[in-house]
Structure formats: structure tokens, C-alpha cells
Amino acid sequence: MKQKTVVLGVTGSIAAYKACDIISRLKKQGVEVHVILTESGSRFITPLALETIAATPVVTDMFNRETPWEVEHIALAKKADAFLVAPASANFLGKAAHGIADDMLTTTILATHAPILVAPAMNSAMYLNPVVQENIQLLQKRGYRFISPGEGRLACGDTGVGRLAEVEDIVSAVLDALNPRQDLAGVRLLVSAGPTQEALDPVRYITNRSSGKMGYAIAQAAARRGAEVTLVSGPVSLPAPQRVKLVPVVSSDDMFRAVDGAFAGCDALIMAAAPADFTPQNLSGQKIKKQGNGLNLALKNTRDILLAMGQKKEGRILMGFAAESENLAQNAQSKLRRKNLDFIAANDILAQDAGFGVDTNRVTLYDDRGGARDSGSMTKDALADWLLDALWARIQRNRGRAGAE
């Protein structure tokens, strides 16, 4: 197999020293690494250190005269099978998001067709600043893959999110990008994500807390692994995943119809959405006026989408989620049976590293054969692949059984 090449951008962050470890691990996997070091990156680590490990010249200057026969940024952009920026500073994210190309790294990245992976590292207040978050969203929309930073004690003494992701996670994301698994090729996967909104009147609605991140991560990971993915999504503020058919919906009734309509054409359904369980009995055509005694709302149950699909599942594989605040195992297993599921991924919504809005999650995956596995705390992206691995194993088992019959 042809040797793969990674271009690694190193920007100004105290985590720049970790680039040495990243290079060394990639090289152990037989990957050639070329490093572009930014001006501020070079304040934290020397070109010599990186060059010694990479065994290729480190590029720092746009106007280097040593290789005048090649337009260097174009040559590197073409050479890359994957492009990694680790650590990525807030300054780099801002420039990349807005097409500013004022140094070797930002110029080369504009010219590459290779998959681009970015591992940010910075102080947590900077990372959580809306301008940085918006830049990240813009880049995600354009297909950049983010390896989310971890939480912990930061170099500045603060504690919070912003620490460069673990080197192993970065390296494995790069290896995945270099050799994309296509194990789910030919699998038609239906995923639901996000909350629903149940209107009371033209301006008000009731909803569930759900960012949609878990379902979007599953849809994205499955598409990358070759599945044909339909994503039925309630209202969320996330960029549409690439190569996924997105079906936006608002109410749980809309979601029911969209999932039901796509169900016949799918091999597996992962219901990661949090559809509202209750909806107003009556929808007021006019804005409801304030009254002296407040407002009594009459609510009715919505239809349980997963339950209905479980009743007509035939050969399909069904995975549900259970968000629980108590009796996790018992509640999850009874949902698994009641809804006729193959799997249920249960999380404790009161745990700090799981649930709403955060980038990490931790689930226990129960299956219909009595199995239970703990995922450990991981990023929602990594968890998406972990859940898909379980789904894939079940698909293979079912195929094996069908073949034997």
C-alpha cells in the first residue's frame, strides 16, 4: 500500500510540545509527517525538535528560498492524505474560518483537498467564547472534523474545557481519516436527533432538553463509514452532517410521520431524539393572553415513535436511548423489552460527563440477549463509533444466521 502522508500544523499553544508525541506515533504507524510550524508555534517548540522526530524539513516561512523549484504550499497541500492541526489556537480557527491566508499554514490549508482534522487547545474562557464557538461551527459546516478538547487543569491554572484531546484520540482520528472504514457500506440507517417543539399558540411551545449532538455524531460517523443515512432532526443549532439526507421536523407528530415514512426503507433505526412525551390538547390560533390566575395546560400523550416501530420491526435492528435519573438498569431494560429493541443506550442524566449539551457522554449499552457494556466516558464522536460497532456486530450476526438458514 502507498505510504500515507500527513501534514501537521502546529500553532501557538503550550500544548505544542505534544506534537512530538503525535508525530512519533504516526511514524510508528508508517505515516510520513510534514510539519508546518506557525510563528507563534515556534515560540513554544523549536523547528529542530519537530524536524528531528519527523525526519522531514519543518516549514515555517512562506518565502523560504531553499525549495524555489516548487510552490511549497501547493506542493504540501497536494502531498497530504490528511491534514491535522494540533494544537489549534483560537487565532488559527478565526483565520481558517474566514479564509485569511497570511502564513504558510493558513495558505496551505486553503489549497488542500485532503480531509482536515483540528484539535483545539486553549484557555476555557477563550474556547467557550461565542466567537470561537461560531468559528468552530463554520468550519464544521465546511467539513472540518474537530477532535474536541478535554476538561481538566489548564496551564494557566484555570480548570475547565480547553485541554488538547488525548494524543491517542488524535492519532486514531487521523488514522481513521487515512483509512476510512467502510464497514457500513450498503447499510441503510435511519437516525433521529434533537428535541421536538409542541406548540401552544403561535409564539409558545413546550420542548425537551436536547442538543441533538449525539444523534448528529452518530449520523456523521455512520456516513463516514459508508452507510446511507437519513437523519430526522428536531430543531437544533448544529451544522448538517456531510453526505447525510437531513429531514428537518418540528413537532413529535412530524417526527413520527418522518420516521414512519422512512422506516420501510431502512435496515436499522437509532432513535437518539428526545421527542416530547406530551403535547397540548388544543392549539390556540391566537396568542394566549395573560390571566389573573396563571394558565392551566391540558396535555395529552404523544405517540411513542420507537414503540410503534418496534411493533413492525421485522428484520430491522432498533436502538433506543434511555435518559434516566434513577434505577438506570431496571428502567432501561424494561424499555428495551417494552419497545422490542435490540439495544438501548442508557445514560444517567445526573452524571457530570453525560447528557445534555456537553461534548462527552457515557452510556451502558443493554442488549436483548441480556448483555450490558459500559462505554466509559468518551467524546460523543467516539461514542458514536462505539455504538455503531455494536450495531455492525449485530448486522453481521443476523447476516450469518440468515446465511446458515
Query: How many Cα atoms are found within 13 Å in the side-chain-facing hemisphere of 254?
Result: 17
Q: How far is CA 62 from CA 49, 72, 94, 189, 211, in A?
A: 20, 8, 20, 45, 41
Among 321, 343, 386, 392, binds ligand CTP (CB under 6 A): 321
Residue with cell 508555534: 41
Cβ proximity of 51 and 57 under 8 Å = yes
Among 126, 156, 175, 351, the active-site one is: 156
Nearest CB to ligand CTP, comparing residues 163 and 335: 335
Is 333 near ligand CTP (CB under 6 A)? no
Piece in contact with ligand CTP (CB under 6 A), picked from 58-66, 278-286, 314-322, 361-369: 314-322
**Part in contact with ligand CTP (CB under 6 A); list of ranges 63-71, 101-109, 166-174, 320-328:** 320-328
Kindly indicate which of the ranges 76-84, 85-93, 114-122, 300-308 contains the residues binding ligand CTP, using the contact rule CB under 6 A.
Answer: 300-308
Tell me: does residue 320 bind ligand CTP (CB under 6 A): yes
The CB-of-210 to ligand CTP minimum distance in angstroms stands at 9
Alpha-carbon dihedral sign for residues 77, 79, 81, 82:
negative
Segment contacting ligand CTP by CB under 6 A, of 7-15, 170-178, 268-276, 356-364: 268-276
The two beta strands, 343-348 and 360-361, are unpaired
Half-sphere exposure of 48 (CA within 13 A, CB side): 0
Catalytic residue check, 266: no
Strands (E), 90-187: 116-120, 145-146, 150-153, 159-163
Under rule CB under 6 A, residue 252 binds ligand CTP: yes
The verdict on 273 binding ligand CTP (CB under 6 A) reads yes
Q: Which lies closer to ligand CTP via its Cβ, residue 85 or residue 190?
A: 190
What is the smallest separation between the CB atom of 296 and ligand CTP, expressed in angstroms? 22
Residues 265/276, Cβ–Cβ less than 8 Å: no
What whole-number distance in Å separates Cα of residue 359 and Cα of residue 150?
9
Contact 240, 143 (CB under 8 A): no
By the rule CB under 6 A, 251 interacts with ligand CTP: no
Q: Which of 306, 378, 388, 395 is close enough to bind ligand CTP by CB under 6 A?
A: 306
Question: By three-state DSSP, how is residue 232 classified?
Answer: strand
Nearer to ligand CTP, 148 or 252 (CB): 252
Site residues, ligand CTP (CB under 6 A): 252, 271, 273, 275, 277, 302, 304-306, 320-323, 335
Catalytic residue numbers, as ranges: 156
